[in-house]
Amino acid sequence: MKKLFSLAFAMVLMLTLSVSAFAHTSTPENGANSPAPEITLLGATLVDVKHISEVEPLASGNLSPGAYTTFDRQSLAEGNTVTLAASWTPTSSNLDVGIYSHASGYVYYYTFSGGSGSGALGVNTSGTYSIYVGNPSDAQIRWDVSYTVN
Mean pLDDT of the chain: 77
Note the pLDDT of residue 54. Answer: 45
Please tell me the CATH code under which domain 22-149 is placed.
2.60.120.380
User: Which of 103-107, 128-132, 137-141 is predicted least confidently?
Assistant: 103-107
Domain segments of the chain: what residues? Answer: 22-149
Percent helix, strand and coil across the chain, each to the nearest 5: 15, 50, 35
Rg (CA), the chain: 17
* pLDDT per position as a tens digit, 23-77: 444 455 666 556 556 666 665 544 444 444 444 458 999 999 999 999 999 999 9
